[in-house]
Amino acid sequence: MNNFIFQNSTKVYFGRGCVKEYLACLTKDAQTVLLGYGGGSIKRNGVYDEITSILKKAGKTIVEFSDIMSNPTYAKVQEGAKLARENHVDMVLAVGGGSTMDCCKAVCLAAQYEGDIWEDFWIHPGVIDFDPLPLGVVVTVAGTGSECNGGAVITNEEKKVKTGRDYPALNPRFALMDPTYTFSVPRKQMVSASFDILSHIMETYFSKPDEDNVSDDIMEGLMKSVVRNLRAAIEDPQDYTARSNLMWDATMAENRMIKMGKRCDFQCHNMEHQLSAFTDCNHGCGLAVLHPVYYRHIYKEGLLKFVRFAKNVWGIAPESKTEEELALAGIQALANFIREIGLPATLKELDVNQPQLKEIADSCSISQGSYKVMTHEEILEIFQECYE
Ligand code: NZQ
Ligand code: ZN
């Protein structure tokens, strides 16, 4: 294994009823709380009422920061930071999915910083040598794993760049994770966010080193768990076992644990982020379109890992297949699963404009962790192959 340093400072409270049990205690040191949330799902499913009544009973002043959009923008971050400063907020509570959590992480930083956080912390990696506002999160959709890392993916609309950085100082202080909060996530969103979990695992698994290592072993278990539990949650959206497993799969995929000792790829993420910067497409849907095509481009350079994926994750019997046939069968099993769960398989289905693909391809960052380091020409080829 490669050398590593591991730290994860977020304290997780997991399970049915955890918000009722712990939220008042976890916010005891704060007087004014910035409550960050999205477009209103928490008002429809009762989560907003539950949380605000706990905070009000504890005598907190609540400053509302609502309408955080999917693929949060830098302008929205600035709006939240202004609200936090003007109201002397001393804690931020993000209630939602990756978009709300990411936006609130950036708000915690921007509220305490005089300069331009986009320039100093997103375009280039920066050094956080001051205390951002403390952040707590309540997760309402399983997917990004943002609850247990310092990652925040922000879109700068003017510059047409969507990018993320992971700063340990932005790890939430606490994460409250009640799987019943995810019962109301619509099927389409549940499926795309679950594919994001699978993608995070695959982007890590398909990278060196390939000799036996604990991360690869854990990841095979996690990938099988996502597939099994997503099928169960599609069957019965109120299946607590399935929803709780998906919720913890998401955290395990992005709490840095499985990345230890691995180079990590994340080329598909780089490509999806730019697709999203130009078209505002759904993160998991974009990833679903890209993964099988990208893997058909790189499998020869990581052949034995793709063989292992076919056998250990999808249960494909080697029989008389060559290594190449097995590797391709594993990628096909992934593509079949994408279709089975109802995700798109072409960029056309995502309403991406074909003439724009070159500009999008040219704007993608190149991952050095891939089995086959891409060129912008090959990224364009992949986008074109994904088109229809
Ligand atoms: O906005 P509301 O009304 O709340 O509705 C949301 C939104 O429409 C809805 N939703 C959430 N919880 C719900 C619910 N609907 C009903 N019941 C509930 N309990 O779901 C929709 C999507 O929410 P969003 O937060 O956008 O989804 P997701 O969690 O997939 O986050 C996507 C964002 O995270 C970034 C993505 O790029 C994208 O911007 N990522 C963040 C990462 C990180 N911080 O580590 C890593 C990822 O790779 C990813 O890039
Ligand atoms: Zn992702």
Q: Whole-angstrom Cα distance, residue 286 to residue 275?
A: 7
For ligand 1, say whether the CB of 152 is within 6 Å of any of its atoms.
yes
For ligand 1, say whether the CB of 253 is within 6 Å of any of its atoms.
no
For ligand 1, say whether the CB of 102 is within 6 Å of any of its atoms.
yes
**pTM value > 0.75:** yes
Give 143's Cβ-side CA count (13 Å radius): 26
Atom 46 (ligand 1) nearest CA: 144
Ligand 1 pocket, mutate which of 76, 102, 275 (most atoms under 8 A from CB) = 102
Residue where the block lists tokens 């679950």:
194
Asked if 71 and 43 count as a contact pair (C-beta separation under 8 A), the reply is: no
Residue where the block lists tokens 């309540």:
138
Extract long-range pairs of 279-283: CB within 8 Å, 24+ residues apart. Answer: 279/350, 279/351, 279/352, 279/353, 279/356, 280/70, 280/71, 281/350, 281/351, 281/352, 282/70, 282/189, 282/192, 282/350, 283/70, 283/71, 283/98, 283/144, 283/192, 283/196
Asked if 285 and 192 count as a contact pair (C-beta separation under 8 A), the reply is: yes
Nearest ligand to the CA of 194 is 1
Asked if 161 and 118 count as a contact pair (C-beta separation under 8 A), the reply is: no
Ligand 1 pocket, mutate which of 77, 153, 257 (most atoms under 8 A from CB) = 153
Joined tokens for residue 78: 């600035």
What's the pLDDT score for residue 342? Answer: 98
Average of per-residue pLDDT values in the chain: 97
For ligand 1, say whether the CB of 283 is within 6 Å of any of its atoms.
yes
Mean pLDDT, range 347-356, rounded to an integer: 94
For ligand 1, say whether the CB of 40 is within 6 Å of any of its atoms.
yes
Q: Whole-angstrom Cα distance, residue 270 to residue 284?
A: 13
For ligand 1, say whether the CB of 254 is within 6 Å of any of its atoms.
yes
Asked if 77 and 154 count as a contact pair (C-beta separation under 8 A), the reply is: yes
For ligand 1, say whether the CB of 167 is within 6 Å of any of its atoms.
no
Q: Whole-angstrom Cα distance, residue 18 to residue 13?
A: 6
Phi-psi category of residue 92: left, alpha or beta, with phi > 0 → left and psi -120 to 50 → alpha: beta
For ligand 1, say whether the CB of 97 is within 6 Å of any of its atoms.
yes
Task: Say how far residue 190 (Cα) sits from the centre of its chain.
Answer: 13
What are the φ and ψ backbone dihedral angles of 35, each rounded to 5 degrees? -100, 105
Ligand 1 pocket, mutate which of 48, 99, 180 (most atoms under 8 A from CB) = 99
Categorize the per-residue pLDDT at 2 as very low, low, confident or very high, splitting at 50, 70 and 90: confident
Atom 48 (ligand 1) nearest CA: 144
pLDDT tens digits, 184-207: 999 999 999 999 999 999 999 999
Categorize the per-residue pLDDT at 208 as very low, low, confident or very high, splitting at 50, 70 and 90: very high
Ligand 1 pocket, mutate which of 256, 283, 291, 365 (most atoms under 8 A from CB) = 283
Residue where the block lists tokens 């994460």:
175
pLDDT tens digits, 320-330: 999 999 999 99
pLDDT tens digits, 116-165: 999 999 999 999 999 999 999 999 999 999 999 999 999 999 999 999 99
For ligand 1, say whether the CB of 189 is within 6 Å of any of its atoms.
yes
What's the pLDDT score for residue 1? Answer: 80
CA 127 / ligand 1 centre spacing (Å):
27
What's the pLDDT score for residue 338? Answer: 98
Q: Whole-angstrom Cα distance, residue 267 to residue 257?
A: 20
DSSP 375: -
Atom 42 (ligand 1) nearest CA: 144
- Side by side, the strands of the sheet bearing 61-65 are 11-14, 174-177, 135-139, 91-96, 32-37, 61-65
Domains of the chain: 11-182 (3.40.50.1970), 190-387 (1.20.1090.10)
pLDDT tens digits, 66-125: 999 999 999 999 999 999 999 999 999 999 999 999 999 999 999 999 999 999 999 999
pLDDT tens digits, 8-55: 999 999 999 999 999 999 999 999 999 999 999 999 999 999 999 999
Residue where the block lists tokens 């709780």:
244
